[in-house]
Amino acid sequence: MRRITTALAGLVCAAAAWTAPAAAYEIDPITREPIVAYYGSSYGYRPQAASSFRQVVSFNGYGAGTIVISTAQRRLYYVLGNGQAISYGIGVGRPGFTWSGTKTITAKREWPDWTPPAQMLKRRPDLPRHMRGGINNPLGARAMYLGGSLFRIHGSNEPETIGYAVSSGCIRMTNADVVDLYSRVRVGTRVVVR
């Protein structure tokens, strides 16, 4: 009996010493995509494409709250200040549809409707004239409109395109990443595209 008690005590101590893995997985109720929370200085979304991973990185040269987009790196940086930014994977404009400059977020929409602009309909007459917001909408879960242009930073119903140059000039993000960014920015946020 004493040996059994000692063995059981050893099992209890071993179970108590076991710690949970470094990441906790759950499904985002809004985007229906898996989320992973990492402990320490970085965290992110567990995407289908590795380029979608978001994390806190060293970043200098811009004020806190600024969005900096590097089309060459296919990364969007949300500047936190103190030499740090959150880095997100993005999809960018395909050849002939790239651009650079400074814009301002002039509007924000959750599950936005999509009305393709006339220029896009001319190139792609097969597109719908209007599409209600939802999980199958090309703008995805959130959109941030860049004033003075037809461009947006938006989610996507094609997360496999993140990391590629495939859009008509808009900045695409996974739905999980765009929901995270949307919660951090406000109308009036400065966006620098380089």
Question: In this predicted structure, what is the pLDDT of residue 138?
Answer: 95
How many C-beta neighbours within 10 Å does residue 112 have?
Answer: 24
**Partners of 57 in beta bridges:** 85
Question: In this predicted structure, what is the pLDDT of residue 122?
Answer: 93
- Does any domain span residue 7? no
Burial class (CB in 10 A: 0-12, 13-18, 19+), 110: exposed
Nearest to 167 by CA among 74, 96, 93, 117: 93
In which domain, by residue range, is 183 found? Answer: 19-193
Question: CA-CA distances (angstroms) from residue 144 to 87, 152, 163?
Answer: 17, 5, 19
Question: In this predicted structure, what is the pLDDT of residue 158?
Answer: 92
- Does any domain span residue 94? yes
Residues 6+ apart with CB under 8 A from 171: 69, 76, 90, 91, 92, 151, 152, 153, 154, 193
Q: pTM for this one?
A: 0.73
- Does any domain span residue 13? no
- Does any domain span residue 6? no
Q: Is the pLDDT of residue 16 over 90?
A: no
Q: Total domain count for the chain?
A: 1
Residues 6+ apart with CB under 8 A from 101: 193
Residue bearing tokens 């765009």: 178
- Does any domain span residue 55? yes
CATH number, position 175: 2.40.440.10
Determine the average pLDDT of the residues in 8-33: 40
Q: Please identify every residue annotated as catalytic.
A: 154, 170
- Does any domain span residue 5? no
Give 5 or 86, the one with higher predicted confidence: 86
Q: Is the pLDDT of residue 183 over 50?
A: yes
- pLDDT band (50, 70, 90) for residue 22: very low
- Does any domain span residue 184? yes
Nearest to 87 by CA among 118, 52, 46, 116: 52
- pLDDT band (50, 70, 90) for residue 5: very low
Query: Do residues 64 and 188 lie in contact, with contact meaning Cβ atoms separated by under 8 Å?
Result: no
Query: Do residues 105 and 188 lie in contact, with contact meaning Cβ atoms separated by under 8 Å?
Result: yes
- If you average pLDDT over every residue of the chain, what do you get? 80
- 42-95 pLDDT per residue, tens: 333 333 343 447 999 999 999 999 999 999 999 999 999 999 999 999 999 999
Q: Is the pLDDT of residue 151 over 80?
A: yes
- Does any domain span residue 136? yes
Query: Do residues 155 and 45 lie in contact, with contact meaning Cβ atoms separated by under 8 Å?
Result: no
